A and B are shown apart, each in its own frame.
Chain A
């Protein structure tokens, strides 16, 4: 049974940096669908394919909503236990995300000059093959800008700066609403994740994890602890396999959890010894101590 999912590659602790791809990846993990994931980085598909794209046996499906519907039909259903009302709530919250949060996300990553020049464009340029690296980021940026202007700008104000205030305040309100709805629960509908969790995760994970130079929305999101916790829980429980395979960040990126504990212990011991050294330092440089003994280096 051939099944293949094409999506953008990952970075910043995430399996993918692209919102729509993250939604599909998360849903696949939640519903237990085994998909072979292939990233389109450094291929010509960066400009030809509409990502994410699922190739399942003979058919091809694009768009997160369509892919999720397709997976449900193949009996990979994470929404199995939802009531009818919860299913309706899912649709409503997804609409809220698309209307209120997506424009601000597009703006943060693609239109804000600081972020675009320092983070988004270099990333996409470095992940596209020559000569596409000249076109791919620019094309995405202009698509993002036109989407924001066409949906949010009222006709006398076709200027992006006047729309900015409005979309950011709507996005902050949307994040607050999501935080209220999530409350103290692990997931939006109880203890098991559903498609709504996949959508929310896909939208907020890049915002939490990306090292944005200018991120007012990111700051706002970091104040909403339960959403950050939600995101980290999903990453830890469902995506930790991909996090362990990465060997770049810390020198102790190891598979065995026992070794991870050992690493934590080592860090604690190091901290303690640093403290002890400092105390020693203070003692030696204190007036009571004899001044002729040399302090330890």
Chain B
């Protein structure tokens, strides 16, 4: 895939400066990307914006196969390819940009714990709803996932992905849960996040960290994505401080950018927050 991207270099002292061509790859925004991938991708984009590092978003149908770990999104910086938020945060820290330097050890422990909470609960719940709930899988996930491919490849790939995700759910013990319990788990997770956030602007008071980026990515995507029903979004909406948190980050980091690139016209996404 050719990298015809333009970005300007940010002059901050680092081991190697952030290169001119830095690209973030994700599946096709209009037709292919699913809720969980979109959330992860938005989290990485938010983190990069918080660090002030420009990056070009490139949508490819085979992004998942290009990624070194099989997960999206991944960034191509210079001659290195890094995927998933955790490794990307470390990679960027090696270049000298970090959002969590001001935290002491206990706070850093808390931050990592909350990031694991989001990954463990929210991301797993998103995957469950997309692939283990038969109705959603049939109506939304499988058609979208396999849309760039022709028959019979689309059937094979969609079912293969579904089987993989169900195996994983089985291994961690989520296959015994029903949809109501999953919604309940999401609600508890949001309650924990809401209590931790309280009335502060960000999770660690004045400065945003990667935790804020991750939470924003997931919550914003949940709120703006149309699924078969709105119950997931309703669970999140019941926590007003989380809603205002999302608004605030959207205003601060995404307002000045081109609004059209924020999927305002996508069928799948409802655009900006209601």
Contacts and interface: CB of A to CB of B under 8 A. Distances in A.
A100 interface: yes
A151 B119 CA distance: 12
A87 interface: yes
B109 A180 contact: yes
B193 interface: yes
B69 A92 contact: no
A85 B193 CA distance: 9
A81 interface: no
Given A87-B192, A91-B192, A98-B120, A177 B171 contact: no
* B interface: dominant SS: helix
Interface string A81-102: 0001101110111011011100
Contact of B116 (A88, A92, A155, A181): A92
B152 interface: no
B47 to A, nearest CB: 19
Contacts of A89: 110, 113, 196
A63 B114 CA distance: 22
Contacts of A88: 191-193, 195-196
A95 to B, nearest CB: 4
B105 A180 contact: yes
A92 B117 contact: yes
Contacts of A96: 112-113, 116-117
16 contacts: A88-B192, A91-B189, A92-B110, A95-B116, A95-B120, A95-B121, A96-B112, A96-B117, A150-B172, A151-B168, A154-B70, A154-B71, A156-B70, A177-B112, A180-B108, A181-B110
Interface of A: 63, 84-85, 87-89, 91-93, 95-96, 98-100, 143, 146-147, 150-151, 154-156, 177-178, 180-181, 183
Given A92-B110, A180-B105, A181-B106, 15 more contacts: A87-B192, A88-B191, A88-B195, A96-B117, A99-B116, A146-B171, A147-B171, A147-B172, A150-B171, A150-B172, A151-B172, A154-B69, A177-B105, A177-B112, A177-B113
Q: Which are the 9 A-B pairs with shortest beta-carbon distances?
A: A155-B70, A88-B192, A154-B69, A92-B113, A177-B109, A95-B117, A95-B120, A96-B113, A180-B105
